[in-house]
Structure 1
């Protein structure tokens, strides 16, 4: 009875609450409507007064009220206004944040929208995605831009079908994004599709074909097909004049593009004529301060430089600086530079200007003052690149930026080298290095030439920038005390993205897609889009909720000479190489010494020599191997020998070109008798060698999640006596590795003898899922398996596990890729990649080889052993067993590996470098 009364009382309360809620809703609706008027008035006022930050804040406030009132057409229309306002006012980062948060609600909004306005809402939303894509593109985040552009096209096709001008517009936008991502074939398909759609429309709408025409011209221009580019630019110009008139923005753009073609084919008068027409139109529309004006001044500067008129050229570069900067006005003093890089309209154009100006200052003459000004200009360009990196969330966008700016660091290094030739009293004061994040030097480095120190800084900035930032980010997440649950959420999202990306990659292998394939592919693309959106938003949320994380993430560490000296032991020297097109720079650092050496070289010839020497090693050719090996010694080691006399170990930071060079197999004497490899004077007889991608990474104090090991050794050997059943591009290439089973079992016995915990898994039990689950527990992890490149992506081969967890989809197809390794929880002190090509991967300029080892460097693994080439499993097993045996006797990791290799030299059967020199160790400094 009491229960009945209680229930009746609750229902009565519910009725009262419902009535109150309805009344509250009406009150809130009135309040939000009045607030909407207020925010609208404020946003209009600040837009008119050009108070940009405040305008964006009130526009966003206005939109929140529209959403609450469920006025969805106005909501997405206003979002579009916000996006375009952010684009127009160069507030790209702020615009991205607003649109990213607001578009979260798009699926939920669509469910609440009445059928009568659903199409209108979707139409507005589609354009918001297009503007979102533009904001990412202007921030140099081309991969993120691609996601939004694909969504734009999907919505346009869904709303209008294929043969509609709005759909054609979407194909043009997508083509632009594909071109920016260097996916030229996809871009060409998009432009041709758009052109075909436009030409099938009414006569009035056919004029829109000006858009694919101009972009086809840009595509062929970038590909170096200048005749085709000029053809399309002229066609686009004719259509633009007919449709829009002679004064339109697109006409100005076409004149600019035509001028660019004439410049490349050295028709300078015609180029200048086209630029003059474009400049007149642009100035009439925008005035002197605008990025389009800066772009034109850059091009005119390039024209005068190619005409050997450096005086004229540098004046135009100075004008470009002024046009691209809000509060910088000095066009007279060619040495003047803007100081506030937050005051820039378009970063990309500024970077182009700074690099061109610095280069031209050196061309004017090589007097000390011009060198100093070039140095300061490169300093500013360096700060700008750091600023540009802050807005990038994805590795692919980071890599694209790195390859673009790599040559700048080489040129800056060359300027420092030339300045170092002046007497110390004549050198410019560089005490304000804090502006470029150079750590304070200790008293030991004060005796060194300051430009050598600065040259080392630029050498480091030009190496593994993306990997260094990723490692800093991973460490920052732990130092900032971000909860493990949040980090696990990040890993899950990233793992799911990788899963759907792998599924989409499989469609690329098919020549033709069935209807079922197309439906499934679209579903996977939608899933990936949503997951990427959530992942990017999670990263932004972390930066907002954890200020310490933001600060740590963007304080990327660059090792100084003093830092290196403090960490080196008395018997170790660090050698860093940088190879430009015509110079080899060698930096040698010991506890108490620092020196820089420069040699004239031909990079292309050196690359061929290294390839031939590697072929000599693989083919067993003594006659060519010995003299080449000695030439490498004279080039890379002999000039530094005075600093290496009492050293036992060399930590080498190679240029990407030298990453595949087995330094320990270099020959240290000339005229060596052939035929007795066991007596050859290999470099390893004098020094042990370890490598690392950069000195900064080697020194970085990497914060790691609970780096305590519950087990000692894990040995994994799939063996592959039975071929994996799952189909894939790489499966038929997996040869059996019968000796790997003996390898891991023998090492297992060594650990057992020492009463240490050890586990070995062999054969079909070594699945990818099992590997992911076990790896976090062990101090030493030994992979005796194949390494391979699948579509230029490095991976380790295991048996597939076809069990799919729908709540946490992962790639368990037997290929543990580099991207998946980035996503692991990992604690190991040492990883060994035996038999496989752990050093193979795509070479990205400024970043180095994108090998599987990058994943373990990112995870903070202090010691990594890998192979430069495929090693016979029998010989790999022999060397690895000796290595672990030496370790069991108390030898350090690097000494144990060196002694194992030296023991191979004692026998004529195993002394040839093919059998031992491929094994290489990466090792961080303690």
Structure 2
């Protein structure tokens, strides 16, 4: 194949093979074409386009395969240029989207080492912040978001700058200390100022409204009227732009707010949120909120059903043994931090059921859930690189260690 080949040509090639052979027989055909392509430029562009097509088909394993082929083609030819770092960035993104965060971190870090003074490096700082946040290494995430923000001063990129501020605000919200809350509000006000000068795009504006509402929906800074105002802004803005994900988040978070106020329509908003496209994290949160509402209404069995749904949504494998939790299975959760929270809540509900029935099986099951939560915390702590993050998780672990001592006492006291 010559140098005149274009991406559209490769897309058409992919589509023709898929149509004639079917998606199952597609890879051997593509591999055959690649094997007879001697021009490195054509080879890399072809493998790049194949990876993109597979990603759009949600065949992530194949997408990663061809993205990796593209990256290796540059490395074997010892070509280090903008196309190479673009290929690395895409590979890192694919790994990140499939929760292979440690490998994604390697890809983004390599970009920084080979192209230290570029816009792609700033993007990689932001992606590293995302990965470390997902790993629960919050202080390391803070470091990289701050790096991205600092370097963006040399660029006219107010939208991307706002995104990094919003990501940093999320870190401070999660840490939830008096000091981090002050930083969170300061950061959100900076984004409001950016929006006044340069209108944010619809997606970023939705995130801003949601983050502001979440700030006021926090125990330390609770203000019902302010939280409701920004959730309503989020909903109105999202409905106007037909943004299904943000609409669902808005309804779900309003439901959470109304639970705190004892407003009857809380259940309506929570259930309505599930009619929209939600991320795994958002579904997890909605299921937990419904569980809280059921518990508040004295329906402990229903509360357990929704807590189990919150756990299940974090696993690709729908045959995961929810009632037999173990580190071996649960460490592969899409959001292990969300699962830790669910395991803790489940243990509390099980202990309440024990108080009602005096059946020892509830205590034993509660203990298993707390043990698995504690093991997950150890797993996350071991993967953290920043000492402050390790300290954060050591403090979290103390809650579960204490609970594990308390739970057996339920049985001891009764005997």
Calculate the TM-score normalised by the size of structure 1.
0.37
| Counterpart mapping for 1:505-654 below 5 A | none
Query: Are the structure 2 counterparts of residues 207 and 90 from structure 1 closer, same or farther at C-alpha, using a change threshold of 3 Å?
Result: closer
2:99 aligned with 1:90: yes
2:387 aligned with 1:395: yes
Q: Distance in 1 between matches of 2:42 and 2:390?
A: 45
Q: Deviations over 1:129-182 (max 9, x none)?
A: 222211110100111111211122123221107xx3333333223322333344
| Counterpart mapping for 1:330-409 below 5 A | 335-337=323-325, 340-365=329-354, 366-409=358-401
8 Å CA contact retained: 1:60, 1:98:
no
2:87 aligned with 1:69: no
Q: Distance in 2 between matches of 1:179 and 1:195?
A: 17
8 Å CA contact retained: 2:111, 2:124:
no
Q: Distance in 1 between matches of 2:381 and 2:133?
A: 13
Query: Are the structure 2 counterparts of residues 167 and 378 from structure 1 closer, same or farther at C-alpha, using a change threshold of 3 Å?
Result: closer
Among 127, 132, 149, which residue is 2:145 paired with? 149
| Partner in structure 1 of residue 125 of structure 2 | 129
* Structure with the bigger percentage of helix: 2
| Partner in structure 2 of residue 174 of structure 1 | 168
Among 232, 235, 247, which residue is 2:233 paired with? 235
Query: Are the structure 2 counterparts of residues 253 and 405 from structure 1 closer, same or farther at C-alpha, using a change threshold of 3 Å?
Result: farther
Q: Distance in 2 between matches of 1:330 and 1:34?
A: 43
| Partner in structure 2 of residue 327 of structure 1 | 317
Q: Deviations over 1:355-397 (max 9, x none)?
A: 1111111111231111111122222222222221232011100
2:266 aligned with 1:271: yes
Q: CA RMSD in A?
A: 3.0
Q: Distance in 2 between matches of 1:53 and 1:208?
A: 30
Q: Distance in 2 between matches of 1:64 and 1:265?
A: 56
The structural deviation recorded for 1:420 is 4.0
- SS state at 1:340 partner: helix
Query: Are the structure 2 counterparts of residues 32 and 94 from structure 1 closer, same or farther at C-alpha, using a change threshold of 3 Å?
Result: same
| Partner in structure 2 of residue 190 of structure 1 | 187
8 Å CA contact retained: 1:171, 1:194:
yes
- SS state at 1:160 partner: coil
The structural deviation recorded for 1:64 is 4.8
Which ranges in structure 1 are unaligned for 5 or more consecutive residues?
A: 1-29, 111-121, 424-926
Q: Deviations over 1:486-519 (max 9, x none)?
A: xxxxxxxxxxxxxxxxxxxxxxxxxxxxxxxxxx
Query: Are the structure 2 counterparts of residues 305 and 330 from structure 1 closer, same or farther at C-alpha, using a change threshold of 3 Å?
Result: farther
8 Å CA contact retained: 2:63, 2:94:
no
The structural deviation recorded for 1:31 is 6.5
| Partner in structure 2 of residue 890 of structure 1 | none
| Partner in structure 1 of residue 245 of structure 2 | 249
Query: Are the structure 2 counterparts of residues 208 and 38 from structure 1 closer, same or farther at C-alpha, using a change threshold of 3 Å?
Result: closer
| Counterpart mapping for 1:700-711 below 5 A | none
8 Å CA contact retained: 1:304, 1:313:
yes
How many residues were matched structurally? 368
| Counterpart mapping for 1:680-695 below 5 A | none
| Counterpart mapping for 1:447-846 below 5 A | none
| Partner in structure 2 of residue 480 of structure 1 | none
8 Å CA contact retained: 1:156, 1:170:
no
8 Å CA contact retained: 2:105, 2:128:
yes
| Partner in structure 1 of residue 304 of structure 2 | 314
Which ranges in structure 2 are unaligned for 5 or more consecutive residues?
A: 1-37
Among 210, 216, 220, which residue is 1:214 paired with? 210
Q: Distance in 1 between matches of 2:88 and 2:267?
A: 41
Query: Are the structure 2 counterparts of residues 52 and 180 from structure 1 closer, same or farther at C-alpha, using a change threshold of 3 Å?
Result: same
Query: Are the structure 2 counterparts of residues 141 and 258 from structure 1 closer, same or farther at C-alpha, using a change threshold of 3 Å?
Result: same
8 Å CA contact retained: 1:326, 1:343:
no
* Structure with the bigger percentage of strand: 1
Calculate the TM-score normalised by the size of structure 2.
0.78
Q: Distance in 1 between matches of 2:201 and 2:320?
A: 46
Largest Rg, 1 or 2: 1
- SS state at 1:229 partner: helix
8 Å CA contact retained: 1:153, 1:174:
no
Q: Distance in 1 between matches of 2:57 and 2:234?
A: 37
8 Å CA contact retained: 1:199, 1:206:
no
The structural deviation recorded for 1:207 is 8.0
| Partner in structure 2 of residue 117 of structure 1 | none
Q: Distance in 1 between matches of 2:52 and 2:202?
A: 36
| Partner in structure 1 of residue 289 of structure 2 | 299
Q: Distance in 1 between matches of 2:319 and 2:299?
A: 23
